[in-house]
A and B are shown apart, each in its own frame.
Chain A
Amino acid sequence: MVKPVIKICGLTGRLDAASCTRLGADLVGFIFHPPSPRSVEPLQVKHLKTPGCFRVGVFISQKAPEILAVMDQAQLDLAQLHGEQDLEDARAVGPERVIKVFWPERYEDKAELAAEMEKWAPAASLFLFDSGTSGGGHNRKIGSLAGLSRSPKPYLLAGGLTPEDLSRYWPNKDPMFLGLDFNSGVEIRPGVKSREAIQNLMAALVRVSDKDAGSMKKSPMAGYFGEFGGQYVPEVLMPPLEELEEAMSVIRPTPGFQAELTYLLTQYAGRPTPLTRCPKLSEELGLSIRLKREDLLHTGAHKINNTLGQALLAKKMGKTELVAETGAGQHGVATATAAARLGLNAVIFMGEVDVVRQKMNVERMKLLGARVIAVKDGTRTLKDAINEALRYWLTNQKTTHYCFGTSAGPHPFPTLVRDFQAIISKEAKEQYSNVVGRLPDVVVAAVGGGSNSIGAFANFISSKVRLVGVEAAGSGEIGCYNSAPINLGRLGILHGQRSMLLQTRDGQVLPSHSISAGLDYPSVGPEHAYLHSIGRVEYGLANDREALEAFMTLTRTEGIIPALESSHALAWVIKNKDRLSLGAEVMICLSGRGDKDLEIVLENLKVD
């Protein structure tokens, strides 16, 4: 069974129309009946924009000629015959455009209703069953569903329905039962819809739809992007992963969660971030370069988009602690920050090598109240920090949420992190439409685990925009340690996922290297491996030196000090400028600011 069709009826104003549209109603209804407090004029309706919804006119006393005229003027798709029309009128309007209303309580018995339905079946495409014996439901529920099950046409149910009724009627075994029609049950007063009620309705809709999906047998390839992804974890980690997946589908879509997250992102983290045009660099390269400024967010990088989302989810799940891994310390700081804000404990695992390299970030995390644990195993870098964080989560799963930092790891993390980072491309898409009047030609982002890049790509994947991910090639010499598993690795299994992996012949994970600590990871999120495998995204390379040069170029020409991660994306654009058409609109995801990298840059460059 699929999700129920939702009709919201009796709209009168622009705001209501907009909120119904945004919240995903399938049909919206307008009442053309002056005695009703919800009555509207055709011209008024014409100007109410409801993209993606079928527009229905409700007619009580009008006959076919008038109905046709109103439908034309008000730009309606369907006519709901709610009263005095006969079969002739229905045929004139066109059966494919007719919704016929019945009041089952009018009929003596089921047979009488059935006969009437048979009579109307050829003249309508949908039926609607209302409570009472005429007019609207007005807070009265329909008496019984018995008798409706023999409807020859797909039907909607109406009559004073409220969001709470959804779970009563859905899921439903009758294949003809299509969905529900709401009017007075989602109003503040006649003619004025309650946004809150409509949001509750949509949240309830997500819940019943998910319950539906859950009852079906889980596909063996659940959690895969093509051949990549999966859940390669010890059995004892499966229950917390399932718990997280459930929270994603039940808690995350609720209006309460969304409102709180939006508040945190806008009022705390600083969204939306600007789309900055680079005049001098654009001229130099013969391109139109715009930067999506994630560096301007609180804590200085895109990581906060994800940690606020996950921390809020963890809190609603009843967890009291976050555990996280960190390489350069950016994700650790973002996790410690979100934990402090939301009143959660934070435990951060960091490779011993990184603890020394990124002393300032260690101090920041401690100031924020996090416990930082240095990992002494293996290569003592990010990958070993992930191992240790997974072990900690495995042991403390009842109280702890693993706030994974990138769009990798076992399902559902790649999806969860992508969804929280997708706001980058959601905003960018709108900004391009508003400022440039069209989408960019190319979007470029650096790829380590792949969270800023998947966020920058997500809302462009279904478009024709050229998408480029840039992997870190290390020193660039042949055979050097690098962080480019898509270009230089092969299929392998690490950290719960099957993806591209840098490894020895017999499957041991190779140490990775990049001058940018945030890209220093031997594998990559499974969705990137997939997007590469189907040719939707191309994955280029930039080495340490090219990234350093790009770092200096942006600093000097535009007065923006970029993170070394983002500098790889910029470096790719600079070295491929001749392969891009003159004046092309290029968006670069500036995932973070470069203050954290000053020491490394100063070590490697002679700056006057």
Chain B
Amino acid sequence: MRSQSRLTQAISKANRVKRPARIPFLTAGCPDPDKFWDCLKELDDNGADILEIGVPFSDPVADGPVIAAASQKALADGVNLEWILNGLARHSFRSPIVLMSYANPLLQYAWAEAAGQTLSEKVLVSLELLARAMQPLVSGVIVPDVPLEESENFRAAFEVAGIDLIVLVGPNTTSERMGKYAQVAQGYVYVVSVLGTTGVREGLPLEVKATLARARAAFDLPLALGFGVKEPSQLSGLARLPEAVIFGSALVRHLTDGGCCRDFMAPWLEAAGQPAV
């Protein structure tokens, strides 16, 4: 068995001091390409435990308007996976890095160099070349349009490079299906709070509790709650906190409205003394 994932370790470290791990998400090139790396650094210095970077894609079906717009702007600014990997090679962060990317940019990254007898073989080779390019800059990858059934190639390619393929489960994922995911999950489990695309929501609906409870029973890994999380107060209704929280849309909106990363992270640092994990 491979040694424990950097991602699992980063979350456990936060949980040991009785707080959920904080995972800010930022679309690459947001708020603009010149400021992006500084923003990421600021998050890293102000309480982030893991950093998620969104790879822009022309057709982001799982994202709501805020991240979709950031993605579109980044593409117009010339941001792509290569730009991200080059940037990661030039910067160093305390927190491990997770990339969130739709399947196609991952598949195409090394397509021109990939050789194979059949298309399936070429797909696998292309993903292996990508995994090599991501190593050791990237600790995990989330592919929102790759469910369990399509994940084998991705997992096989990333596993060799020691990169976790993070699974997503949602309020309509049955316990049975979570059980299947549990057999292959690595790093942490991304729990989608509500049915819908990414975006900030006012409260956390009741069904979040049920989803978390089912996930808790199915997985041995830390749970990271995402989709709609903005402030610590939203978690107050939960009897038991998730091991980690992901904030995406709220952060992206905060930055595109001219805010800074430190201000966004401040309430989370203040709340660090709240009920234990």
Interface residues of A, Cβ cutoff 8 Å to B: 218, 220, 222-223, 227, 230-239, 377-378, 383-384, 387, 390-391, 394-395, 397, 490-496, 501, 503, 505-509, 533
Contacts and interface: CB of A to CB of B under 8 A. Distances in A.
Given A239-B172, A503-B108, A508 B58 contact: yes
Contact of B147 (A231, A394, A493): A231
A514 B52 CA distance: 39
Contacts of B170: 234-236
Given A377-B68, A506-B109, A496 B58 contact: no
Contacts of A397: 172, 195
Interface string B162-190: 00000111111110010000000000000
Contacts of B277: none
A12 to B, nearest CB: 50
Nearest to A227: B119
Contacts of A234: 61-62, 144-145, 147, 168, 170
Interface stretch (B17-25, B99-107, B131-139): B99-107
Given A236-B170, A387-B59, A494 B149 contact: no
Contacts of A227: 118-120
A491 B167 CA distance: 24
Contacts of B53: none
Contact of B150 (A232, A505, A506): A232
Interface residues of B, number: 51
User: Top 10 nearest A-B pairs by Cβ distance?
Assistant: A507-B108, A236-B170, A507-B105, A227-B119, A395-B196, A507-B104, A493-B104, A508-B58, A234-B62, A493-B103
A235 B169 contact: yes
A232 B108 contact: no
Interface stretch (B29-37, B39-47, B75-83, B242-250): B75-83
Nearest to B174: A239
Contacts of B120: 227
Contacts of B65: 377
Nearest to A231: B149
Nearest to A390: B61
B123 A395 contact: no
A220 B109 CA distance: 25
A565 to B, nearest CB: 23
B219 interface: no
Nearest to B197: A391
A94 B111 CA distance: 63
B149 A222 contact: yes
A494 B147 contact: no
A492 B149 contact: no
Contact of A220 (B82, B118, B145, B152): B152
Contacts, number: 126
A387 B112 contact: no
A238 B147 contact: yes
A491 B107 CA distance: 9
A533 B174 CA distance: 37
A397 B195 CA distance: 9
A506 B173 contact: no
Given A220-B152, A503-B108, A507-B108, A232 B192 contact: no
B146 interface: yes
A357 B154 CA distance: 41
A394 B63 CA distance: 11
Contacts of B105: 506-508
Contacts of A391: 61-62, 64, 196-197
Contacts of A507: 57, 104-109, 111
Contact of B107 (A235, A377, A492): A492
A434 B150 CA distance: 46
Interface string B65-109: 100110010010000111000000000000000000011111111
Interface of B: 57-62, 64-65, 68-69, 72, 75, 80-82, 102-109, 111-112, 118-120, 122-123, 144-150, 152, 167-174, 177, 192, 195-197
Nearest to B102: A493
Contact of B192 (A235, A491, A501): A235
Contact of A394 (B106, B150, B195): B195
A395 B104 contact: no
A220 B168 contact: no
A221 to B, nearest CB: 9
B107 A493 contact: yes
A473 B164 CA distance: 42
A394 B196 contact: yes
For A234, A383, A395, A495, the residue with the greatest tally of chain B CB atoms inside 10 Å of its CB is: A234
Contacts of B122: 491
A238 B148 CA distance: 10
Given A395-B196, A397-B172, A493-B104, A506 B145 contact: no
For A222, A223, A395, A508, the residue with the greatest tally of chain B CB atoms inside 10 Å of its CB is: A508
Contacts of B152: 220
Contact of A509 (B58, B106, B150, B167): B58
A508 B72 CA distance: 11
A234 B122 CA distance: 24
A235 B142 CA distance: 12
A503 B192 contact: no
Nearest to B108: A507
B112 A494 contact: no
A202 B169 CA distance: 39
A508 B172 contact: no
Contacts of A533: 119
Contact of A491 (B123, B145, B177): B123
A236 B149 contact: no
B180 to A, nearest CB: 11
Contacts of B64: 391
B103 A232 contact: yes
Contacts of B103: 232, 493
Contacts of B147: 231-235, 237-238
For B57, B104, B106, B123, the residue with the greatest tally of chain A CB atoms inside 10 Å of its CB is: B104
Contacts of A492: 104, 107-108
Given A394-B195, A493-B103, A387 B60 contact: yes
B60 to A, nearest CB: 7
Contacts of A236: 170-173, 192, 195
A407 B68 CA distance: 26
Contacts of B145: 232-234, 493, 496
Given A222-B149, A238-B173, A378-B58, 11 more contacts: A220-B149, A230-B149, A231-B147, A234-B62, A235-B148, A235-B169, A236-B172, A391-B62, A507-B57, A508-B58, A509-B59
A117 B74 CA distance: 78
A383 B60 CA distance: 11
For B61, B75, B111, B152, the residue with the greatest tally of chain A CB atoms inside 10 Å of its CB is: B61
A372 B105 CA distance: 31
A503 B169 CA distance: 30
B127 to A, nearest CB: 12
14 contacts: A218-B149, A220-B149, A227-B120, A230-B149, A232-B103, A234-B62, A236-B172, A236-B192, A378-B58, A394-B195, A394-B196, A491-B111, A494-B59, A507-B57
